[in-house]
Structure formats: structure tokens, C-alpha cells
Amino acid sequence: MAPWLTDWRGRFTGEAMAIASPASTEEVSALVKLCARHRVPIVAQGGNTGMCGGATPDGSGRSILLSLRRMNTIRRLDPEAREAVCEAGVILQTLHEAAETEGLRFPLTLGGKGSATIGGLVSTNAGGTQVLRHGSMRAQVLGVEAVLANGSVFNALTVLKKDNRGFDLKQLLIGSEGTLGIVTAATLKLLPAIGERRVVWAGVPSLAGARALLLHCQDVAGNALEGFEVMPQQTLHDVVAHLPNAREPLAEPHAWHALIELVAERGETDRLGELAERMLASAFEAGLLEDAVIASNERQADDFWLLRDSIAPAEREKGPAVQHDISVPVDRMPEFVEVAVPQLEAHWPGTEALAFGHLGDGNVHFHVIAPPGVEPLEWMTGDGKKISAEVYELVTAWHGSISAEHGIGQLKLDELVRLGDPVQLAMMRAVKQALDPHELLNPGKLVPLAPAAGSH
Amino acid sequence: MAPWLTDWRGRFTGEAMAIASPASTEEVSALVKLCARHRVPIVAQGGNTGMCGGATPDGSGRSILLSLRRMNTIRRLDPEAREAVCEAGVILQTLHEAAETEGLRFPLTLGGKGSATIGGLVSTNAGGTQVLRHGSMRAQVLGVEAVLANGSVFNALTVLKKDNRGFDLKQLLIGSEGTLGIVTAATLKLLPAIGERRVVWAGVPSLAGARALLLHCQDVAGNALEGFEVMPQQTLHDVVAHLPNAREPLAEPHAWHALIELVAERGETDRLGELAERMLASAFEAGLLEDAVIASNERQADDFWLLRDSIAPAEREKGPAVQHDISVPVDRMPEFVEVAVPQLEAHWPGTEALAFGHLGDGNVHFHVIAPPGVEPLEWMTGDGKKISAEVYELVTAWHGSISAEHGIGQLKLDELVRLGDPVQLAMMRAVKQALDPHELLNPGKLVPLAPAAGSH
């Protein structure tokens, strides 16, 4: 069992009574009924590549670890309806490949696509770099099948574009991290495959300038705008130093850099080249750009994206860091970063704070790198923890979220209890108790069960 | 109080202890707390133009009628973020007009737009003719403020494009018809205003042919396809006979007719004329069209839409009818209509069954007109009721919904109990009891409180 009792980042290790790997919804249902009868907690697990320890059991050894990986069938892929019914254990990349063979695509991707499963992505409402245009996992889910705490099967896989027969219960299961039910399958939306793309690298004088550029791109390119990622100059510098043979896309340094992707669906009249040119020309004219370059071929486009995707490893070279997956209202993100970065660096001398990521979603990855020479573990569990608390307090004061993409799991439960809105926490508890009265589904994750003493 | 104690269609009349019309969220909260203390049920009401009696109190006279109409402020309309924060009592048309002055639009409209309120539209997850492209109300709602059963205020108005801090509780409030909380405000998504449109009238040999044409239009026009409505020849004939100076758009009769709208956002390069021509030319070539005409100007486009919007009044002239707002999976809709129409007409001699509406949403309005000469009320409450039961059984057998757009209210509660999925009904009950343990919020609507005896 060992490989499944520790999360992939090695932060959490638990114990389990047994691991069960059922091959069908009926088997999951039978297992849950058995567990319910004997009051055995159940921790569901997909690819075991979550970010918050949501799929790792606690240390009591009382739980069953329920792996969905054997439920890995794409039950149906309907090119005409543009829908796929995937079992929970289907790996994201497998779905990508299956869609591609039909001239379609599934418009959600992320670093862990080779291991992340559909069940895990649904249960955590996963994000990625395409949320700007297509939304998170929730927006891709048309139907859900799940086994509830008493073993009954919630079957809402059939897609009805309109259905007003009561509460939209599948919405409750999406993002609930296995605490309300165990997702066994989902019906997912597919889109026509991409016909062409244009990738742009742009230099701007500030993060506020990056946001102005984003608004301009949305105005000009509309639905063609698929991605808009940002990073500061120092981060780009570190990435280029880290990658062999890499170079900065622009001749001069700029305070901030934006990576912009435009796409057109297969079959659309070729207009992307003209659109990209027009978008940049009018941006220059409006003073929104210092410099920009359009990737001249697919290879260069991939190189641009590699710079973005290498931020995490490049940063790791610089030392230990506390990482925060946070969001604030989109229009306030530049201001937030401008306030938070110097504040954190001033409070914690020697640290380096950096923000990069999905500006268009109001979601940045906000990392604080330790001062040189500290003992990593000691720093992470000491100052690092205090720094995180300060970041989350700041985010909360700005009406933002302490978890934009990654969920709560066990990693952030304390902070959710401390900083969450008491009305919403109480509602969550009430719903949890109603649907899982014996607290058998993924206990200790996501839902703050004890009333938050002293919460504000 | 009288005008608010009867629903606008005159089907339901109730009694109330009093009517309260608070002017702020704080006042709603104070009122709900008072009611909670004294166990007084609360029926929330917006424009009082719902279709299922969801906003009409029962006959006991124990309830307070809570009218949201004084909460009619658009708190914020942000053209840059393309968001509007509307209080519950804002009338849909008022929002349309406010958006228009900013070069924007709110992409949901329906017949009752001059009376329907934002609170009512959110609480019933309203639909309309633009769902094909833009989705129902749920898809337009970015944030919700609501007063819960204990008077506490659920505030999730701030828009975070990404937020994974637990269950998405606002989804539970959307479409819950005032049974889980009283929606006091919502943050809504706005879009760029429409720059131009092209309206097409097309004749096709069958409903299956209409669906094939729809798929073709989606392939060719993509996001430009804003509406796709269908009606049979007999219905078009009745409408033309009903409207003064109207005429059929095409020279010859066709078994089915489709009304197709393409739109382009303001600022988009003019390409709609060419797109419409290309879409139709390729459809002719593929044998998907018998005949088609593009409205030559806005006046003719309006005339085409008037034919669609006059189906209900035209049909009323033909006598009493039972009406069903139903959906089935989109790809099975043609088959469903082809089976259901002759079956109903055979079982109930002299009736005329007709289906029209939103083919692209799998949602048709399925009406059965009484045989000539019957006594209306007697027929409606006798055979009419049995016919409805048969329609709903058919829909259920086809994995469809007995309420696509209009909700359940009190009109369809019995049928929901009879035909609903027991697992989902049990889940609804559990959630309702958790969030409104004393059953004070809109009792007798939507949620089947007693376990469904003998349900299948």
C-alpha cells in the first residue's frame, strides 16, 4: 500500500486498514455500504497527484483507501454530441488522446495530465492554463455519477441542456473532494480540435499594464484568446539561467512579461495571423506594449511555453519556498501584487516574493523564497508557516481566496477554519452532516467539522 | 394584498398573514430572524410572473409574503469587468437597458422581461431563447447574496474567477425557488453588445432534418449561432392565420421550419453576411435544406421572430390546451416528438399535439389542444390532467426532465414526487432539512418533504 499512503509531494503520510480498487460503480456501492454498516471511513484516491493531501488518509489506520484507478473506461465518446462519459480512473491524457482521434479536444490541461484522473479533477474542480477562456473543471462537467455515503448511486450522467427539477446536486459534488460522495464517472464537454494557434511574448511596464493589455486583447480577439500568463523580469531571468540553451524572447528587459495565446478551431477560416498582428498593432498604438514578438513557428511557440512551465523548477534551484495558490478579484490583482510583494519582503528580510501565473483569472501563484543559507525544513515549518499565514490574511482582507485551484484537502483546513466566512462554513457543515451524518467520507478534509472557535 | 396572492396566470390563489417589502438586505435579514423566532413561513416573490405557482403562498394564511420589489437598485455596473451587481427586485428589462447604455448586453431574455426580476430569474434558473449559446441563468450568475433560514446573510457577491475553498454553495441557491434562502442580490455577467445579426428562416423535411441542420450550423457558424427555434407547418399556418398581415416566409409548405439567428459582437469585423450565405449554401449542397431565406433587413428579421413569439396566442384561439415544458437529451428530441405526438393523439381522440421551441437545448414546449367543443375547465381538470401525466411518464422513460425551464413550484410537485429519482429526491430533502430545519422557506414548493411512498 505504501506508494498510495504518501502524497506525491511527500508532505503527508497516512495509514489505512486496506486498499480497495473496485472495477465498477456497483462494486464501489457495495463497498461503501459495507463500510457504512461498520462505520469505516473511506478515502477516495485518483492519480494521487493532488496538491493539498486531500487523497491521503490520516494516521489512525481506521480508513479504507478506495482507489478508483481500475475504473478507467471511457464509456462513450460521442463526436456528434461532443460529449465523453469517463469513469473516475480515466487519466486526463488518455481523454486528450481519445478526443484527438475524433477531431475534438478536451479544453482543460495541467502539469499532472499524465497522472491526474477525471475523478480527481472533478472532485477538486481543477483549473489549469485554459480557464481564462473555458473555465475550470466545473464548466466542463455536464453530468456526474457518484456513490453517496449510504452506498446509493447518484446518477446524473444523462445530459439535459435544460433541467429545472430542483437543486443542481451535481454542483455540490464537483469540488467537494470526496467528502459528500465518491465520483465514479462524469460526462464531459468536448470542443472542436484546435486548427491553429499564435503565441505572443509581450513586455509591459507593470502588472497594471499587463492587465490593461489583457483587456485590450479580450476586446480585439474575443473568443480567440485562449491564454494570458504573466511573470516578472526577475523570474524570467531565473528561468533562462536554469534552462540550457534558453534565451529571453525580447531584446530588452521589461518589468513584466506576458505570454499570450490565440487559437482558432479546426475549420475556421484562417484569420489568426491577421488577428494577432492587428491586436498587437493597436496595443502599440494605445501605448499598452513596450515590445512584443509573435512566435514564428510551432517550435518557437513551444519554447515560449517552456519558459512559463519552467518557473517552478527554476525557482526550486534558488532554495526552499512557501507557495500560495491564491486569487483576488481580477481587477485588483495588480494592486494586490504591488502591495503584497514589498510588504512580505520587508517583514521577512532576505526573502524574495514573486507572483506569476493566470492574471486573467485573478489567480497567481505567490511564492516566497527563503533567505539564502537557512536550514530548509526548519525554515519551512517556522518562518515559512508564519509567512503563509500572513499571505492568507492579506488575501482574505482583499476578498480573495486562499485556494484558487488546488483545493483545501488537509493542507489548508486550519486556515479555512481561521479565515473562512462563518456563514459559509456553517452552511458547509450543515450540508456535510446532512449527506454524510457519520462522517465516513474523507474525514478531516475540506469541511471544518467543529464550529470554528474564535473565528472572526 | 390581493394582486400578489394570485399568480399571473390565475391558476393559484393563496392567503398571507401580511405582505412585507423590505428595502435592504439588512431588512430582509431582520424580518427572517423575526419569522424564524415565531416560526412563520416566508414566501419570497419577485415579479409574480413565474409559471408554476412558486411565488404564491398556500391557503393557510400562516405565511408572510416577502416581496423583493423595493430592492431594485443596480448596485454596480462595471463596464471594464463586464459585471453588474443587481438587487433581487431589479426588472430584467431595466438591466438590459442599463447594460445597453454601456455598450454591453445581458444575454438572457424571455417573454416576461418587463416584469421578471433578477431574484426570480436566479431562484428559478430561468431560460429563454438564448440558452443555446449562452446557457441558462445559472451560467450568467457570478455571485449571489442571500438571506438564509436563520436570518444570516450569505454573501458571495465578490467575483473570484477561481475559488476552491469548498462546496460551491451559490449553485445550491440558484434554482432553489426560495426554499433554501432568499436571494437578495446577484452579480451577473455582461457581454459586449451585439453589432449585427442575420436571421434565417429555413424549411426542412422533418424534425430529424432540423437537427441535422442545427449540427451543420454549429459546425459552420460556431459561436455566432445565437438561436435555433423550430415549429411544424401546422403551427406556422395557425400563427399566420392569427396575425394580421402576416405571411409565411417561404413560398411552399415544409414539414418543419427553423428560425436561425446569427450574431456578431460590436466591433467584430463584418463577416456575418458572408457567413450566413456560406452556411446556407453548404447546407443546400449537403441536402439539409428544402428552402431558406435570409431576412433582408431588421424589419423582416423582427417579423420572423414575431411568428415564433406568436405561437402561444395563436394556439389559445384554437381552444384550451395542456402545456408541458419538457426536455430530453438533445440528440433524441426528434425521435421523441415523432413518437409522442401520434401516441398522444391516438390515446386522446380529437386532440392536437404540437411541439415547438428550443431544439438546440433539447427543450420543446409540448402542448396538447383539447378536442373542439369541450367545456374548458372540465377538460383541463379531467382528461387534461391525465394527458399531462402521460406526457411526463413518456419524458421520464426517455431520461428527460418534466421541467426544462419553468421549475417545479407547486404546479409540478406531485409529479416530481411520482416520477423523480428516489436517490436525488432523498438528497434534496436532506439538504433542505439541513438548511431550513423548520421548513419556513417557501414550504410546499419544489422540495418533496414527505418520503415518496410507492415512488419507483
Q: Tell me the per-residue pLDDT of A350-400, one tens digit each, with 9 for 90 and over.
A: 999 999 989 888 998 999 999 999 999 999 999 999 999 999 999 999 999
> Does pLDDT of B87 surpass 80?
yes
The phi, psi pair for B93, rounded to 5°, reads: -65, -35
Instruction: Pick the closest to residue B233 from B313, B302, B290, B296 (CA basis).
Output: B290
Q: What is the mean pLDDT of chain B?
A: 94
What are the pLDDT digits (tens) for A288-302? 999 999 999 999 999
Residue in A160, A169, A222 closest to B265 by CB = A222
- Among the partner residues A80, A192, A427, nearest to B169 by beta-carbon distance: A427
Angle value at C-alpha B30, between B26 and B36, nearest 5 degrees: 140
Q: Average the pLDDT over A143-167 and give the result.
A: 96
In sequence order, what are the beta bridge partners of B256? Answer: B204, B232
Confidence band for A117, pLDDT divided at 50, 70 and 90: very high
Answer with the residue of higher pLDDT: B289 or B129.
B289
Q: Where are the domains of chain A?
A: 2-67, 74-192, 194-311, 318-397
Q: Do B136 and B174 contact (CB within 8 A), yes or no? A: no
- pLDDT at position B271 is 80
Contacts of residue B181 in chain A, CB cutoff 8 Å?
none
Comparing CA positions, the residue from B355, B370, B377 lying closest to residue B317 is: B370
Per-residue pLDDT tens over the stretch B412-451: 999 999 999 999 999 999 999 999 999 999 999 999 876 5
Kindly determine whether residue A154 and residue B427, on different chains, have CB atoms separated by under 8 Å. yes
pLDDT band at B267 (very low <50, low <70, confident <90, very high): low
Residue A94: CB atoms within 10 Å: 17
Cα dihedral A26/A28/A30/A33 (nearest 10) = -140
CA distance B406 to chain A (A): 7
Q: What are the tens digits of pLDDT across the range B105-119?
A: 999 998 889 999 999
Phi, psi of B183 (to 5 degrees): -65, 125
Distance from CA of B405 to the nearest CA of A (A): 6
| Residue range B194-202: mean pLDDT, rounded | 94
**Looking at residue B456, what is its pLDDT?**
39
SS3 letters across chain A = CHHHHECCCCCCECCCCEEECCCCHHHHHHHHHHHHHHCCCEEEECCCCCCCCCCCCCCCCCCEEEECCCCCCEEEEECCCCEEEEECCCEHHHHHHHHHCCCEECCCCCCCCCCCEHHHHHHHCCCCCCHHHHCCHHHHEEEEEEEECCCCEEEECCCCCCCCCCCCHHHHHCCCCCCCEEEEEEEEECEECEEEEEEEEEEECCHHHHHHHHHHHHHHHHHHEEEEEEEEHHHHHHHHHHCCCCCCCCCCCCCEEEEEEEEEECCCCCCHHHHHHHHHHHHHHCCCCCEEEECCCHHHHHHHHHHHHCHHHHHHHCCCEEEEEEECCHHHHHHHHHHHHHHHHHHCCCCEEEEEEEHHHCEEEEEEECCCCCCHHHHHHHHHHHHHHHHHHHHHHCCCECCCCCCCCCCCHHHHHHHCCHHHHHHHHHHHHHHCCCCCECCCCCCCCCCCCCCC
Give the mutation candidate from B164, B215, B402, B449 for the A interface (greatest A CB count, under 10 A): B164
pLDDT tops 80 at residue B242: yes
A358 φ/ψ angles, rounded to the nearest 5 degrees: -90, 75
Confidence at residue B341, expressed as pLDDT on a 0 to 100 scale: 96
Q: Where residue A267 falls among pLDDT bands split at 50, 70, 90?
A: low
Level-2 CATH architecture, domain A318-397: 2-Layer Sandwich (3.30)
Q: What is the pLDDT of residue B451?
A: 54
The C-alpha of B164 sits at a distance from chain A's nearest C-alpha, in angstroms, of: 5
pLDDT band (50, 70, 90) for residue B195: confident
Contact in structure between A275 and B269 (CB atoms under 8 Å)? no
Confidence of residue A454 (pLDDT cuts 50, 70, 90): very low
Residue in A closest to B413 by C-alpha: A165
Strands B74-78, B104-105: pairing is unpaired
Give which of A52, A165, A270 to mutate to test B binding, by max B Cβ within 10 Å: A165
Given a contact cutoff of 8 angstroms between Cβ atoms, the answer to whether A423 and B153 are in contact is yes
When CB atoms are compared, the residue of A156, A162, A404 closest to B164 is A404
pLDDT exceeds cutoff 80 at A226: yes
pLDDT digits (tens, 9 = 90+) for A69-90: 999 999 999 998 899 999 999 9
What is the Cα–Cα distance from A84 to A72, expressed in whole angstroms? 13
Whether B408 has a pLDDT exceeding 90, the answer reads yes
For B331, which of A81, A174, A176 is closest by C-beta distance? A81
Whole-number pLDDT of residue B450: 62
* B364: three-class secondary structure by DSSP: strand
| Sign of the alpha-carbon torsion through B332, B334, B339, B345 | positive
- Between CA B301 and CA B172 the distance in angstroms is 38
Does CATH number 3.30.43.10 belong to domain A2-67? yes
pLDDT of res. B237 = 96
Give the model's pLDDT for residue A269.
61
B34-56 pLDDT tens trace: 999 999 999 999 999 999 999 99
Identify the CATH number of the domain defined by range B195-311.
Answer: 3.30.70.2190
> b vs e for A167-196, b when ≥16 Cβ sit within 10 Å of the residue's Cβ?
bbbbbbbbbbbbbbbbbbbbbbbbbbebee
Look at A164 and B124 and tell me if their CB atoms are within 8 Å: yes
Q: Is the pLDDT of residue A95 over 50?
A: yes
Q: What is the DSSP letter of B313?
A: H
Q: Indicate if the pLDDT at residue A268 is higher than 70.
A: no
In this prediction, residues A270-281 reach a mean pLDDT of 90
Q: Residue B455: pLDDT band by 50, 70, 90 thresholds?
A: very low
Tell me if B327 and A161 make a contact (CB, 8 A cut-off): yes
Res. A315 pLDDT band, cuts 50 70 90: confident
Q: DSSP class of residue B341?
A: H
CB pair distance less than 8 Å for A219 and B267: yes
The pLDDT of residue B9: 84
If you search the block for the grid coordinates 511527500, which residue do you land on?
A10
The reply to whether domains A74-192 and A318-397 share a CATH topology is no
pLDDT at A327: 95
Tell me which of A97-111, A262-276, B277-291 is least confident. Answer: A262-276
Of B161, B268, B423, the CB nearest to A154: B423
When pLDDT is averaged across residues B73-102 and rounded to a whole number, the result is 97
Whether A456 has a pLDDT exceeding 60, the answer reads no
Q: What is the mean pLDDT of residues B345-353?
A: 97
Residues of A in contact with B331 (CB under 8 A): 78, 80-81
As a whole number, mean pLDDT of residues B137-166 equals 96
pLDDT on residue A219: 86
- Pairing assessment for the beta strands A83-87 and A74-78 based on DSSP bridges: antiparallel
Q: Does domain B319-397 have CATH number 1.10.3720.10?
A: no
What topology is assigned to A194-311 in CATH?
A: Alpha-Beta Plaits (3.30.70)
B5: enclosing H helix or E strand? helix B2-5
Mean pLDDT confidence for B406-416: 96
Class for domain A74-192, per CATH? alpha beta
Cα separation, A76 vs A65, whole angstroms: 28
